[in-house]
Amino acid sequence: MAAAAAGPGPGSAPGDSPEGPEAEAPERRRKAHGMLKVYYGLSEGEAAGRPAGPDPLDPTDLNGAHFDPEVYLDKLRRECPLAQLMDSETDMVRQIRALDSDMQTLVYENYNKFISATDTIRKMKNDFRKMEDEMDRLATNMAVITDFSARISATLQDRHERITKLAGVHALLRKLQFLFELPSRLTKCVELGAYGQAVRYQGRARAVLQQYQHLPSFRAIQDDCQVITARLAQQLRQRFREGGSGAPEQAECVELLLALGEPAEELCEEFLAHARGRLEEELRSLEAELGPSPPAPDVLEFTDRGGSGFVGGLCQVAAAYQELFAAQGAAGAEKLAAFARELGGRYFALVERRLAQEQGGSDNSLLVRALDRFHRRLRAPGALLAAAGLGEAATEIVERVARERLGHHLQGLRAAFLGCLTDVRQALAAPRLAGKEGPGLAELLANVASSILSHIKASLAAVHLFTAKEVSFSNKPYFRGEFCSQGVREGLIVGFIRSMCQTAQSFCDSPGEKGGATPPALLLLLSRLCLDYETATISYILTLTDEQFLVQDQSPVTPVSTLCAEARETARRLLTHYVKVQGLVISQMLRKSVETRDWLSTLEPRNVRAVMKRVVEDTTAIDVQVGLLYEEGVRKAQSSDSSKRTFSVYSSSRQQGRYAPSYTPSAPMDTNLLSNIQKLFSERIDVFSPVEFNKVSVLTGIIKISLKTLLECVRLRTFGRFGLQQVQVDCHFLQLYLWRFVADEELVHLLLDEVVASAALRCPDPVPMEPSVVEVICERG
Amino acid sequence: MEDDAPVIYGLEFQARALTPQTAETDAIRFLVGTQSLKYDNQIHIIDFDDENNIINKNVLLHQVGEIWHISASPADKGVLATCYNKTSDSKVLTCAAVWRMPKEVEPGSHESPDDASSTAHTLELLCHLDNTAHGSMACVVWEPTGDGKKVISLADNHILLWDLQESSSQAVLASSASLEGKGQLKFTSGRWSPHHNCTQVATANDTAVRGWDTRSMSQIYCIENAHGQLVRDLDFNPNKQYYLASCGDDCKVKFWDTRNVTEPVKTLEEHSHWVWNVRYNHSHDQLVLTGSSDSRVILSNMVSISSEPFGHLVDDDDLSDQEERRPEDKSQEPPQDSVIATYEEHEDSVYAVDWSSADPWLFASLSYDGRLVINRVPRALKYHILL
């Protein structure tokens, strides 16, 4: 490789080697090796093995076999500039010198080695000659030994045969002795209780005895043995029946009995009967724990006890049975399965009773752990006895409990929501200091929202335990699919949101009859809550749920939009109801004030009536209240100085034009007049119109209801001159203060104009007050 | 099929009082009383010519005061009762009187000029229902099927039963009852039940509806809190004897079974303001008319609580002169209670609606600005009910 690399191709002089000077030494050595290889004729093979290199036939290759100095020189001269020529010359001189010294060293080194090798070879020649002699002697000695050995063997042959025969007789005698001693040994074993040993002896002897039973002596032995064996079997059975000993010992008994050839079927019946006795004992103790009077033990403890006691026992029984009665085949397995099914069923019934007691509890983690253990414990017998369906039954129980748990949580959430509402009611009803009302509502809303959210989260976390990785049943299809989607998402979360909306809506439906048993602030708060749910919370909760419970189920779920629409509808209804309730309150005030006053004999107005101030105050309070929870909303752009609008409503010209056509009964209706009226009313005022989610819309609704009431009430009364003037003053006052609350102040003007105009109509002596005087009175008061 | 356009008639004054001429069963005729404090009040007799869609009117002067309530005798076409305001020395008292129309304008003698511009006849007073001891009259209701001799009037918290004697020229107070309780109790309206031999009257005061037996003048039932707010009007189902409709300031119309007054049978909430008037159609009681101060008149189809079972044929005699019968569509779904139509011809609050006594498919509504609108039940529905 070095040879190839160092090949001074055109333009790469030897001195330009890519490696630095420090790499020069190995480079040179390799070069020397290369030359040696060339010398020993290895170059061909080596060259063939090399991946790539300059053409070996290249005459300009300095290290090549076909190097032609003339060609090379020619080439150099032709292609290289002078400086490079000089360089390559010095380089070549340097290389030649180095090669010379290398060669000298090599010759010295190898010379010494060659001399020592020659010496060694000579010494070896001498040594081998000596060894040859000794080998010859060894051959002769070996021949003598073989000869002797053969002679000894021949002499010992006879005796060897006799010894073999004697040994055979001895063994036979030992066997016979064993047989003769067998009865006594068996008896001894039975007495000592070494049943295993006895059965082993019996097994060993049985075939022989069977074979030689035609000989009277053996027959006697066999009879003896049978008697003893029968006794043995009886004792074993006795022990087996006593049942005091544990399952492993019983299994041993059964095993021995089987070895004694007892009928397997009967044994397995008996075995199962015993096992049943034991397991029933366990069940009874479990049931005792359940008992009505003593306080129920911890559910975890209960399942643990059941798991170790009953399930462990069942496992042992099943394992032992399968081992012992494997030969029984399908019928035996079926028997065991039926056995397990029956006892398992009873166990499950107990567990369910216990779990039912736990339903009311709040500690999910304990329950889940208990269920986990319960389920885990049952996996072993489940696997052992697939036919008994214990695993499936256990899973079913767990599922049922999980479902009940979900229902319980839903109830809990509902209760929490109702609790929140009660708190809010109390907070609202609690006497508060003046001015303290303000921050309360927003705070309450935040409290309610956060408390519900935290309850939801807590519930989610609690039910999430059911799907935790480490829980043994979490990978069951139910828990992966239906539990997440139908149970948690639909049943719990969607169900809760729905029920929340329903609860909220129920406030609009029933209590309206009884005159607003629900405090209006609560309506407002609930409305805002629902609206918040619509805008953010629902999607947040659902996203949270979907994230926590990676829903893999494909069953259809309620989309977020549907829920949002429901929440929005609820919020709208609540707000509308709020408007109605508040409107009613103010309406009642106005109605009473108009109905109870004697408008005919009233005095000249000096003041705005107190009730109007009250109306404005209440409206302001409502405005503040709504403002706490709802945004301002859009107002119709108006001329800046609205409050100073001249109170031109009741000008005589207008009255003439609109309401008092000259009395000409037969005159056709003035069409021009009619169209005027129509134009005035072109925008029909929808009094109880649906509200939007903002303050202005709410206030507009309330004011509309109130003013319409005022109008209707005024129309039912008859006014004296001063009565009319009082209405004028009142309306001007209202106009001064109410315009700022509504979206379209024109509406307030329109309605108030209407009120004054109606009052004028209901007045036999309509002399309006001077607008300036009206203004003075209003500003004063 | 096209429905006829509504016919509109304008009065020059504000008006609240409207009644069909109950005793008239051939001509479609309504009486409207005006409300004016400054001018002489009038009673307009509105004749509607169904074939030509023309209104004929006659005007009677009612000089004693503005009319708050009007009702026509069920027996005598010429007799009517009004409740009117009498203002005297800064006191307003609502009185009631029974009047007779002058012969010239009485139905039948219909030769009076169409444009009643020149002639303004005056009503002939028959008798006053003397209420000096009882307070303001809210309304006068005639015994529905009698000989026009008995009226009930409601004055403040009194319910007064009058006997009209000597061809109505004398009113004798036969019996009375009064409502006792705390606060100022005041009847707002009443109706006389056409059932039980006309022995029952229902009244409304504040939020309660009460039933009275006219024989003993004692209360027989009471629906406390029938409405969230003031109850404005009542009407009896003409065909189902225990059914009663009420309406009020909570914008609702409720239907009651007076045998069980704890819960309404049905509630409608279609109006957006106080409902002032509710009227059952005289023959097809699923048709319920309501008028409200949201300026709307709503015609509802209350099939579920009507006396006519679905698919039942009624009143075939009405059909004789109708157009060709449409094949009966038996496969139809049982219809739901629904709003048939909302009439928006009024610009102001509608204080009175009523069905014509002559044509069961025709009704009038009156708004405060004096506009009287005559409308018909949509033909499609009419045929649906008839066929």
What are B184-236's pLDDT values in tens digits? 788 888 998 888 888 889 999 888 899 999 888 888 889 888 888 889 999 99
With cut-offs at 50, 70 and 90, classify the pLDDT of residue A646.
Answer: very low
Please report which helix (H) or strand (E) contains residue A249, including its range: helix A247-259
**Contact across the interface for B295 and A684, Cβ inside 8 Å:** yes
To the nearest 10 degrees (0 to 180), the angle between helices A520-532 and A437-464 is 50
In this complex, is the C-beta atom of A665 within 8 Å of any C-beta atom belonging to chain B?
Answer: yes
- Separation in Å, CA of A684 to nearest CA in chain B: 8
Question: Could you say which of B12, B14, B91 has the minimum Cβ distance to residue A761?
Answer: B14
Secondary structure of A578-626 as H, E, C letters: HHHHHHHHHHHHHHHHHHCCCCCCCCCCCCCCHHHHHHHHHHHHHHHHH
**Contact across the interface for A689 and B272, Cβ inside 8 Å:** yes
Arithmetic mean of pLDDT over chain B: 81
**Contact across the interface for A665 and B229, Cβ inside 8 Å:** no
Question: Could you say which of B39, B92, B250 has the minimum Cβ distance to residue A718?
Answer: B92
Question: Could you say which of B59, B91, B225 has the minimum Cβ distance to residue A600?
Answer: B91
B321 vs A571 pLDDT, higher one: A571
**Contact, B354 vs B363, CB < 8 A?**
yes
Q: Which amino acid is at A608?
A: V
Q: Which amino acid is at A516?
A: G
Question: Cα-flanking dihedrals φ and ψ of residue B265, to 5°?
Answer: -70, -35
The residue among B296, B282, B220 whose CA lies nearest residue B253 is B296
Residue range A299-316: mean pLDDT, rounded: 76
- Separation in Å, CA of B100 to nearest CA in chain A: 21
**Chain A residue numbers touching B250 (CB-CB < 8 A):** 512
Cβ-Cβ pairs closer than 8 A, A with B, add up to 73
- Separation in Å, CA of A654 to nearest CA in chain B: 15
**Contact across the interface for A514 and B225, Cβ inside 8 Å:** yes
Tell which B residues from 327 to 386 touch A, by Cβ distance under 8 Å: 344, 347-349, 368-369
Gyration radius of chain A over CA positions: 57
Q: What is the per-residue pLDDT across A514-532, written as a single tens digit (0 to 9) for each?
A: 444 677 778 888 888 888 8
On whether the pTM is more than 0.90, the answer is: no
- Separation in Å, CA of A359 to nearest CA in chain B: 39
Question: Could you say which of A677, A686, A718 has the minimum Cβ distance to residue B347?
Answer: A677
**Chain A residue numbers touching B344 (CB-CB < 8 A):** 684
What percentage of residues in chain B have a pLDDT greater than 70?
87
Q: How far apart are the first and last CA of chain A?
A: 116
Residues with Cβ within 8 Å of residue A142, at least 6 apart in sequence? none
Place of tokens 């010496």: A119
Residues with Cβ within 8 Å of residue A79, at least 6 apart in sequence? A10, A11
| The pLDDT of residue A273 | 78
Question: Could you say which of B115, B251, B349 has the minimum Cβ distance to residue A666?
Answer: B115
The residue among B76, B72, B130 whose CA lies nearest residue B108 is B76
Determine what percent of chain A falls in helix, strand and coil, rounding each to the nearest 5. 75, 0, 25
**Contact across the interface for B272 and A678, Cβ inside 8 Å:** no
With cut-offs at 50, 70 and 90, classify the pLDDT of residue B94.
Answer: confident
Euclidean distance between CA atoms B276 and B292, whole angstroms: 5
Question: Could you say which of A667, A677, A708 has the minimum Cβ distance to residue B273?
Answer: A708
Q: For residue A116, list its beta bridge partners.
A: none
**Contact across the interface for A712 and B116, Cβ inside 8 Å:** no
Q: What is the per-residue pLDDT across B302-346, written as a single tens digit (0 to 9) for each?
A: 888 887 765 544 444 444 444 444 444 444 456 678 888 888 888
**Contact, A472 vs A375, CB < 8 A?**
yes
Tokens of A771: 């607008």
The residue among B38, B28, B55, B139 whose CA lies nearest residue B371 is B55
**Chain A residue numbers touching B63 (CB-CB < 8 A):** none
Q: Given a cut of 90, is residue A486 above it in pLDDT?
A: no
Question: Could you say which of B39, B272, B368 has the minimum Cβ distance to residue A686?
Answer: B272
| Minimal-distance CA residue of chain A relative to B43 | A665
In this complex, is the C-beta atom of A208 within 8 Å of any C-beta atom belonging to chain B?
Answer: no
**Contact across the interface for A708 and B42, Cβ inside 8 Å:** no
Tokens of B84: 């009117």
**Contact across the interface for A601 and B85, Cβ inside 8 Å:** no
Residues with Cβ within 8 Å of residue A36, at least 6 apart in sequence? A106
Q: What is the per-residue pLDDT across A63-86, written as a single tens digit (0 to 9) for each?
A: 777 788 888 888 888 888 888 888
- Separation in Å, CA of A739 to nearest CA in chain B: 22
In this complex, is the C-beta atom of A674 within 8 Å of any C-beta atom belonging to chain B?
Answer: yes
Euclidean distance between CA atoms B145 and B134, whole angstroms: 27
**Contact, B248 vs B275, CB < 8 A?**
yes
Arithmetic mean of pLDDT over chain A: 75
Tokens of A593: 């004030």
**Contact across the interface for A600 and B272, Cβ inside 8 Å:** no
In this complex, is the C-beta atom of B251 within 8 Å of any C-beta atom belonging to chain A?
Answer: yes
In this complex, is the C-beta atom of A671 within 8 Å of any C-beta atom belonging to chain B?
Answer: no
**Chain A residue numbers touching B295 (CB-CB < 8 A):** 684
Q: Given a cut of 90, is residue A776 above it in pLDDT?
A: no
Euclidean distance between CA atoms A721 and A408, whole angstroms: 70
Euclidean distance between CA atoms A599 and A595, whole angstroms: 9
Pairing between strand B121-122 and B54-62?
parallel
What percentage of residues in chain A have a pLDDT greater than 70?
76
Question: Could you say which of B85, B92, B228 has the minimum Cβ distance to residue A513?
Answer: B228
**Contact across the interface for B87 and A764, Cβ inside 8 Å:** yes
Interface test with A, best of B8, B9, B12, B256 (most A CBs within 10 A): B12
**Contact across the interface for A718 and B87, Cβ inside 8 Å:** yes
The residue among B301, B302, B318, B308 whose CA lies nearest residue B359 is B318
B255-262 long-range contacts, Cβ below 8 Å, gap at least 24?
B255/B302, B255/B305, B256/B209, B256/B223, B256/B226, B258/B202, B258/B211, B258/B221, B258/B223, B261/B221, B261/B222, B261/B223
**Contact across the interface for A663 and B85, Cβ inside 8 Å:** no
Residue range A276-289: mean pLDDT, rounded: 77
The residue among A734, A436, A691, A696 whose CA lies nearest residue A576 is A691
The residue among B70, B64, B71 whose CA lies nearest residue B36 is B64
Place of tokens 């008839």: B386
**Chain B residue numbers touching A592 (CB-CB < 8 A):** none
| The pLDDT of residue A247 | 60
In this complex, is the C-beta atom of B136 within 8 Å of any C-beta atom belonging to chain A?
Answer: no
To the nearest 10 degrees (0 to 180), the angle between helices A330-358 and A364-377 is 170
With cut-offs at 50, 70 and 90, classify the pLDDT of residue A462.
Answer: confident
Euclidean distance between CA atoms A629 and A437, whole angstroms: 13
In this complex, is the C-beta atom of A515 within 8 Å of any C-beta atom belonging to chain B?
Answer: yes
Interface test with B, best of A599, A600, A711 (most B CBs within 10 A): A600
CA B267 and chain centroid, separation: 21
* Report for A431-435, A552-556, B208-212: range of highest mean pLDDT: B208-212
**Contact, B13 vs B42, CB < 8 A?**
yes
**Contact across the interface for B272 and A665, Cβ inside 8 Å:** no
ipTM: 0.83
**Contact, A368 vs A466, CB < 8 A?**
yes
The residue among A355, A378, A377, A375 whose CA lies nearest residue A367 is A355
Q: What is the per-residue pLDDT across B68-92, written as a single tens digit (0 to 9) for each?
A: 899 988 888 888 888 888 877 667 7
- Separation in Å, CA of A428 to nearest CA in chain B: 24
Pairing between strand B266-268 and B253-257?
antiparallel
**Total Cβ atoms within 10 A of residue A4:** 17
**Contact across the interface for A669 and B10, Cβ inside 8 Å:** yes
- Alpha-helical regions (H) of chain B: 379-386
| Minimal-distance CA residue of chain A relative to B275 | A712
Q: Given a cut of 70, is residue A459 above it in pLDDT?
A: yes
Question: Could you say which of B12, B38, B347 has the minimum Cβ distance to residue A764?
Answer: B38
| Number of residues that this document lists for chain A | 781
**Chain B residue numbers touching A588 (CB-CB < 8 A):** 229
* Report for A211-215, A489-493, A699-703, B244-248: range of highest mean pLDDT: B244-248
**Chain B residue numbers touching A687 (CB-CB < 8 A):** 272-273, 293-294
Tokens of A157: 């042959």
Euclidean distance between CA atoms A493 and A499, whole angstroms: 10
**Chain B residue numbers touching A764 (CB-CB < 8 A):** 37-38, 87
Q: Given a cut of 70, is residue B123 above it in pLDDT?
A: yes
